[in-house]
Structures are given as structure tokens and as C-alpha cells.
């Protein structure tokens, strides 16, 4: 019985296969009058070329990379038939604060004429191009919507570019206000690309900054922009050792110096420096502090120096001549012209110097005269200074021009004391020197009361 069932199943399968084969063969040839499109080709794999990797360009110090200016968004002009003309007697340009004469020249070509709306579009295009040609790339003009031209007056609105904000990143110690204040002065409305790039160039050569990159992006509304600045600070700490032979042979011509300086002590761009120098007869040290007080790099400078020297030449060795002096300085420096390749600045300063000269031994053992001369050599001087600086920078060299005018206020009688010392060294009697010194002291006291 099972054999019979298997036989029936096999026969049934053969009949089904024959039926499907017949149907397939009957559909391979289409009926007359019917066109069947050819087989759809296999999908071809689309090959998209990879974008070329752009090399990272490191900007040179001058000039910095060009600003990327966002495109000015185009306003939708109202739809008006191009063949419809209006008698335009007056064209009002609203919102412009610069290029007044140039805009008036463009407007004069269109006033008191029969104009179509396409003519007004052409005028606003010319005004926009005028702004672009004068480096106002983020400014533009458009025809005011919903205005009635039947009254003979057409209005064109100007949107002048302005800086909405300045975003500074990459700083470590320097405060963002240092960078932001130097760019805000160059970014007043309307925003001028050339002026802004010049300010970026000055930042690029600022000794506190090593690298400056900037990008201008669109802001919250047409005409408004955001300046994104990425900076890298330069090393602020410096130290070194130097040897020079520019001192007088009387105190030792060869001098060794060691110095330390921090260019950004508190984050304001303020600098603190200290220096120490030494020769066979000289011991000198100084300390200075400089603080910038405005965005144009004006600085207030304080300095103190102390100098102790001794004559070491054989001719004067027996006299044991020593000198101690200290100087207090206060100055203010203001650059008046600042460009990437030149700077002109004025400095006003005041120096106060106090010094003493000691002669331990005088010929003939003139102890009394020696003491009086020592007191006479106590000297105090004050000086007011006006200095002009001009720096011209070129790719391979820099030239500094410096002119100074000094008004000295001498509250001592140094020359008179020097004459008395010369008399003492020549062997003049102590009594004579003492009388002259008394007269000198009277003059010193009178002058000190008037100083």
C-alpha cells in the first residue's frame, strides 16, 4: 500500500513541473502588437571620488590668513511686471552712513525718469557693489517691499555690516579682553574688511601671541556677523645670560649680565623684568614693571635701578673712590601710528636719581677735607624726558629712530665738588678747601629750599 502512495506522489510532482514549464514557455514570446521593454540592466555601482585632502596652511606672521567673509543673504524682491514703468522723481537711500557722495552719484542717474522695477533692482545692485569695492563686503542694499511707486518716490534700504560679537578661544593665561579690545576698535560699523585685517596683522606680530586665525561667520540677522578668533599664546617667560665689553675701563670693561622677564604676569599683558650685572668694579641691578592701559598699546612703566661702582684703575687705586646711586623712573608711552610695518610713539617720563661719591683717602691725609668733600658729593637730580620713537620694519631688518629731549633739574652742586676734589688732590691747604666747602654748602641749602 505504501508503494502505491509513493508512486502517486511521484507522478503528481512530474505533472506539476510540466505545467509550470509550459506556462513559462508560453510567456517567452509576446503576443502581436505588444512591445515589452528589454531587461532592466543590473544596477551599476556608483563611484564617488574622494574629496582631496586640503593641506593645512600655517599663516605667516604678516599678513595673517585672509578673512572668510560670509555671503550677504539675498532678500526676495517683490514681484512686479518688468514692463510697468513709473515716473520716479526722487529716490531715497536709507540706512547708509558712509559713501554718501558716491551713492548720490549713482542715484542721480536714475532720478526724474520713467523707471521699471528692474531699473530699481539694477540701482540697488550698483549700490551693493559700491560697498563691496570699498571693502564693506558684509553690507548691501535692497528695494523696500510694499512701497507705492505711484507717488514718484522710490526707497532703497542699505543694511551696513556690523560685528555682533567677537569669540576668542585658545588663550591660556592672557585675558580675552586683551584680544577683544584690539579688534573692537577696528570693527566699528560699517564693518570694513581691510581695517579688520590690519588689526589682525597687528595681533599677529604682538609678542604675546604666536599665532592668530580668524573667521567671519553670519550672525543672527542680515548684516550682522560673528568674528571667531583662535589664538596661540607665545611663551611668556624669558631668561638669559650675556657678556659685553662696553663698560668703562675704570670700572672694568667686561660685564656679565643675567636677566629674567615675564611678559604676561597677571594676564593683562603686563611684564615684570629683573637684571643683574657685574664687572670688576661695578655691581648693578634693576627691576621694571610695565602695564598696558588701552587697546592702542599705551603703557605705564616703572623702573628702579641701583648702581655701586669702584674705580679700579691703578692711577686712582690709592684714593679708593666709590660711588653709589639709585634711580626711580616713571614713564608713559603712547603709540600714535601703528601699522604692521611701522610704528610712531611718544614717551613722557620722569627720573629721580640719588647718588653719593666716597673718597676714602686724600693726598696729605686731609681727613677733614675728605669728610666735607664726601658730604658735598651727595647729589640729587631730577629730569623730565620727552622721547619720540619710530620703528620701520622690513622683511630682513628693522630700523629704530629715537629722538629725546631732557629737562634736568639739578639739586646739587656736583661740578663745584669736583673742583674742590681737584684742589685737594693738588695739595692745597685743608683750611682753604674747608672755607670753600662752607660757601658751597650755603649755596646747596639755598637751592634745596627752592627745589
Overall average pLDDT of the 322-327 stretch:
87
Write down the pLDDT at residue 227.
94
Tens-place pLDDT, residues 135-178: 999 999 999 988 888 888 999 999 999 999 999 999 999 999 99
In a domain? residue 335: yes
Burial 158-190 (b: 16+ CB within 10 A, else e): bbbbbbbebebebbeebebebbbebbeebbebb
Model confidence, pTM? 0.68
Q: Which of 59-73, 100-114, 116-130 has the weakest average pLDDT?
A: 59-73
In a domain? residue 68: no
Peptide bond into 135 cis (omega under 30): no
Joined grid coordinates for residue 161: 555690516
Q: What is the CATH number of the domain that holds 150?
A: 3.10.20.310
Q: Do 189 and 323 belong to one domain? A: no
Overall average pLDDT of the 201-216 stretch:
94
pLDDT score of 90 more than 70: yes
Write down the pLDDT at residue 188.
87
Examine the fold and report which residue of 103, 124, 159 is the final residue of a domain before the chain moves on.
Answer: 159
In a domain? residue 136: yes
pLDDT score of 323 more than 50: yes
**What is the distance between the terminal CA atoms of the chain, rounded to a whole angstrom?**
145
In a domain? residue 359: yes
Which residue did the predictor score with more confidence, 125 or 416?
125
Q: Do 382 and 427 belong to one domain? A: yes
Q: Do 189 and 309 belong to one domain? A: no
Tens-place pLDDT, residues 250-291: 888 899 999 999 999 999 999 999 999 999 888 999 999 999
Residue 446: other Cβ atoms inside 10 A? 9
Q: Do 306 and 402 belong to one domain? A: yes
Write down the pLDDT at residue 27.
40
Examine the fold and report which residue of 186, 212, 233 is the final residue of a domain before the chain moves on.
Answer: 233
pLDDT score of 427 more than 80: no
Q: Do 324 and 396 belong to one domain? A: yes
Q: State the total domains in the chain.
A: 3
Write down the pLDDT at residue 52.
38
- Which range marks the domain in which residue 100 is found? 85-159
Q: Do 361 and 374 belong to one domain? A: yes
Tens-place pLDDT, residues 353-394: 888 776 655 444 445 445 545 544 556 666 676 777 677 766
Examine the fold and report which residue of 159, 183, 208 is the final residue of a domain before the chain moves on.
Answer: 159
Write down the pLDDT at residue 62.
46
Q: Do 93 and 168 belong to one domain? A: no
* Rounded distance between C-alpha atoms, residue 24 and residue 331, angstroms: 105
In a domain? residue 283: no
Q: Do 344 and 436 belong to one domain? A: yes
Overall average pLDDT of the 394-413 stretch:
63
In a domain? residue 62: no
Nearest-10 Cα torsion for 271, 277, 282, 284: 20
**Burial classification of residue 81, based on how many CB atoms lie within 10 Å of its CB (0-12 exposed, 13-18 middle, 19 or more buried):** exposed
Q: Do 90 and 207 belong to one domain? A: no
Write down the pLDDT at residue 449.
42
Write down the pLDDT at residue 312.
82
pLDDT score of 399 more than 60: yes
Q: Do 203 and 109 belong to one domain? A: no
Q: Do 97 and 202 belong to one domain? A: no
Q: Do 222 and 319 belong to one domain? A: no
Amino acid at each position: 500500500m505504501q508503494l502505491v502512495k509513493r508512486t502517486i506522489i511521484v507522478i503528481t510532482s512530474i505533472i506539476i513541473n510540466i505545467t509550470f514549464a509550459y506556462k513559462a514557455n508560453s510567456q517567452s514570446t509576446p503576443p502581436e502588437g505588444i512591445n515589452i521593454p528589454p531587461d532592466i540592466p543590473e544596477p551599476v555601482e556608483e563611484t564617488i571620488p574622494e574629496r582631496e585632502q586640503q593641506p593645512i596652511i600655517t599663516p605667516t606672521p604678516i599678513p595673517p590668513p585672509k578673512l572668510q567673509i560670509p555671503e550677504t543673504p539675498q532678500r526676495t524682491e517683490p514681484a512686479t511686471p518688468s514692463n510697468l514703468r513709473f515716473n520716479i522723481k526722487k529716490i531715497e537711500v536709507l540706512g547708509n552712513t558712509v559713501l554718501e557722495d558716491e551713492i548720490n552719484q549713482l542715484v542721480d542717474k536714475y532720478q526724474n525718469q520713467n523707471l521699471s522695477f528692474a531699473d530699481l533692482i539694477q540701482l540697488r545692485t550698483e549700490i551693493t557693489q559700491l560697498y563691496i569695492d570699498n571693502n564693506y563686503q558684509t553690507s548691501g542694499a535692497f528695494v523696500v517691499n510694499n512701497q507705492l511707486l505711484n507717488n514718484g518716490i522710490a526707497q532703497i534700504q542699505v543694511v551696513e555690516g556690523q560685528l555682533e560679537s567677537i569669540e576668542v578661544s585658545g588663550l591660556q593665561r592672557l585675558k580675552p579682553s586683551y584680544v577683544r579690545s584690539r579688534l573692537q576698535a577696528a570693527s566699528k560699523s560699517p564693518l570694513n574688511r581691510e581695517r579688520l585685517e590690519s588689526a589682525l596683522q597687528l595681533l599677529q606680530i604682538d609678542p604675546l601671541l604666536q599665532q592668530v586665525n580668524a573667521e567671519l561667520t553670519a550672525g543672527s540677522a542680515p548684516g550682522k556677523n560673528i568674528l571667531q578668533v583662535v589664538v596661540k599664546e607665545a611663551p611668556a617667560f624669558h631668561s638669559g645670560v650675556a657678556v659685553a665689553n662696553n663698560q668703562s675701563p675704570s670700572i672694568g670693561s667686561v660685564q656679565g649680565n643675567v636677566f629674567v622677564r615675564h611678559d604676561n604676569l597677571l594676564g593683562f599683558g603686563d611684564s615684570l623684568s629683573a637684571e643683574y650685572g657685574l664687572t670688576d668694579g661695578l655691581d648693578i641691578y634693576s627691576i621694571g614693571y610695565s602695564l598696558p592701559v588701552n587697546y592702542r598699546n599705551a603703557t605705564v612703566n616703572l623702573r628702579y635701578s641701583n648702581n655701586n661702582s669702584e674705580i679700579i684703575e691703578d692711577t686712582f687705586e690709592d684714593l679708593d673712590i666709590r660711588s653709589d646711586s639709585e634711580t626711580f623712573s616713571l614713564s608713559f608711552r603712547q603709540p600714535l601710528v601703528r601699522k604692521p610695518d611701522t610704528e610712531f610713539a611718544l614717551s613722557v617720563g620722569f627720573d629721580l636719581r640719588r647718588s653719593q661719591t666716597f673718597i676714602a683717602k686724600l693726598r696729605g691725609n686731609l681727613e677733614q677735607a675728605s669728610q666735607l668733600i664726601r658730604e658735598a658729593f651727595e647729589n640729587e637730580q631730577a629730569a623730565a624726558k620727552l622721547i619720540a620713537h619710530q620703528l620701520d620694519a622690513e622683511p630682513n631688518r628693522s630700523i629704530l629712530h629715537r629722538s629725546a629731549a631732557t629737562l634736568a633739574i639739578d639739586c646739587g652742586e656736583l661740578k663745584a665738588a669736583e673742583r674742590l676734589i681737584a684742589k685737594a688732590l693738588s695739595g692745597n691747604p685743608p683750611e682753604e678747601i674747608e672755607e670753600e666747602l662752607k660757601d658751597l654748602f650755603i649755596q646747596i641749602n639755598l637751592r634745596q629750599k627752592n627745589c
